[in-house]
Amino acid sequence: MDAKALYMEKPWLKFYPEGVLSEVKITEQTIPEVFDEVTEKYKNNTALIFYGKKISYHLLRELVDRFATALADLGVAKGDTVALFLLNCPQYVIAYFAALKVGAKVTPISPVYTSKEVKHQLEDSGAETIICQDIMYDNVEKTGIDLKNVILTNIAEYLPILKKLLGKSALGKVYREIHVPTPTFMEEAGLHQFQTLIKKYPPEPPQIQIPPREDIAVLPYTGGTTGLPKAAILTHYNMSALREQAIAFWPLFEKGREIVIAFLPFFHIYGQVVVMLNSLVQGFTMVLFTTPDMDDILSAIERYQASAFYGVPTLFEYLKEYDKTERVNWKRLKMIACGADTLHKSTIDEWERRTGAKILEGYGLTETTALSHGSPFNRPKAGSFGVPIPNVKAAIVHHESKEFLPPGEVGELILSGPNIMQGYWKRPEETQEAIIEIDGEKWLRTGDLVSMDEEGYFYFSDRKRDLIKYKGYSVFARHVEEVLFEHPQIKAAGVVGVPDPKVGQLIKAYVVLQSEARGKISEEEIIEYCRQNMAHYKVPKIIEFRGELPKTDVGKVSRRELREEAEES
């Protein structure tokens, strides 16, 4: 059997949990239609818990409808772009669904963005309306963009009375250099207040016709690991499809009865779709956190008897050693999931030893509406990010061609399915590179180098752009990092290739030592350790010790920044 035929046979289906279908029927619905159905069916259930403040589905629906009415009156129309520059809070949820309800598309902006980055996203997405946390307004004002509508909100608006002052002071420490606009300034500048609009307008939004396959729901921006960030075009159909695919693959949950801990940032596709959207379209209760304070989160897991916990590798690396981790009975949870990056084996082993619970790894991109693969809950494999979810086709091709590669060989992952983006916003050339056609079928080139075993489980090797070419050898940066990470005195590591005319690229490792080892271990000792634990061509030629490494918004080591630094030096 040729390689392509093998992938088309979907060998992973043999390991789907009993009752999980290989294909599910995707309902032609918009996100607002699903939202209205759920809020009617579960109107008496609690939708959000925000530091003790509870908001029912009935109240959430009313708040969304009031804000949608306000947006329509402010001139936000079908096809417009609405930017959300917010921390996780009830206002995020309200604004998100309200914008979709008036037929607009949402573009979430990272709260840690500088004014330059905010400016790029506003200009690129064409957003003329922004809903912004008041403590972050400085970075909007500094863009110099003349926006039609600026709506400010304060984190304390939905906090319980006793926590309002605490909330303001806690965030004040984080954003201490940023000044909150005064009421006088807001009035003179023509800025709107979120709560004033909510109180002013009735819950009577306009009835907008939204074709699910055609109309864009969200323009989420990629991390900008190569050049400026670009937006993936996700339609209402893409979002609805992913919802039904995920529900089908993990039939662990009971609609209207689950409690989900929500601290992953909603501006990121993982937090936005897997946590926020997936919870609210099933009538779950979201326990919402603005900042990932682990003591508060661990307490909330037990207090509310949470059934699902979604994290990233850096979080589990922290929790495996945290002295309060055992406060939680992790085995009771229906799902503990990890995404956004790969877990180190040492983290998995120590986590399972301490908690007795398994972490289910998954894989997805902004371009796949957050998800394409997940670990079967009844049969996860350590080191694997699982198998394709229902309705997704996956294959491995040579990273420089469309040649299908057999199981065991590392190549570029390509994907096809109803959750795959339509393309990149205003980037026709990059869309053409990413969306390819093979035998009349459209596939997404992910840019990720992976392999598949004989049973159809997939394993991550590296990003294609992070592949290092040394004397004709292909070196995966992540593989070198894995070995470094196993050194007992290494806390973190980032590996990049540095251009060199003689060998192509030199391998450089940025290393963070454990505090007790700093000044006691030399670069030569690290290199010697590598010689003993990896092939000669993978051994780093340059070691640079650091106090910390640059991170992306979701806690991954930013190889892009390290690469730029290395090339400049």
The tens digit of pLDDT for each residue in 4-27 reads 999 999 999 999 999 999 999 999
Q: Which residue has the tokens 């690290």?
A: 526
Nearest C-alpha neighbor of 483 from the set 517, 528, 443:
528
Per the CB < 8 A criterion, the answer to whether 341 and 317 are in contact is no
Sign of the alpha-carbon dihedral angle for 371, 342, 9, 358: negative
Burial class (CB in 10 A: 0-12, 13-18, 19+), 14: exposed
- Per DSSP, helices labelled H in 270-358 are 278-280, 294-303, 313-319, 345-355
Instruction: Report in angstroms the alpha-carbon separations of 364 from 11, 206, 387, 419, 566.
Output: 20, 35, 11, 10, 29
Please tell me what DSSP assigns to residue 181: P
The yes or no reply on domain 57-209 and CATH 3.40.50.980 is yes
Please tell me what DSSP assigns to residue 424: B
Q: Residue 226: its pLDDT value, please?
A: 47
Domain with CATH 3.40.50.12780 in the chain: 3-26+231-462
Per the CB < 8 A criterion, the answer to whether 193 and 153 are in contact is yes
Spans of the chain below 50 pLDDT: 173-174, 225-226
CA dihedral 66, 71, 74, 75 (to 10 degrees): -140
How far is 491 from 484, CA to CA, in rounded Å? 9
Instruction: Work out the angle at residue 292's Cα, subtended by the Cα atoms of residues 377 and 310, and round it to the nearest 5 degrees.
Output: 10
Domain with CATH 3.40.50.980 in the chain: 57-209
Q: Alpha carbon 467 to chain centroid distance?
A: 23
Per the CB < 8 A criterion, the answer to whether 225 and 463 are in contact is yes
- HSE at residue 220, side-chain half, CA atoms within 13 A, is 24
Q: Residue 485: its pLDDT value, please?
A: 87
Q: Which residue has the tokens 């209207």?
A: 256
Domain with CATH 3.30.300.30 in the chain: 471-568
The yes or no reply on domain 3-26+231-462 and CATH 3.40.50.12780 is yes
Q: Indicate the pTM of the whole model.
A: 0.88
Q: What is 471-568's CATH topology?
A: GMP Synthetase; Chain A, domain 3 (3.30.300)
Pairing of strands 387-388, 373-374: antiparallel
- HSE at residue 291, side-chain half, CA atoms within 13 A, is 12
Please tell me what DSSP assigns to residue 284: P
**Concatenated DSSP letters for 30-97?**
-HHHHHHHHHHHTTTSEEEEETTEEEEHHHHHHHHHHHHHHHHHTT--TT-EEEEE--SSHHHHHHHH
Q: Residue 225: its pLDDT value, please?
A: 47
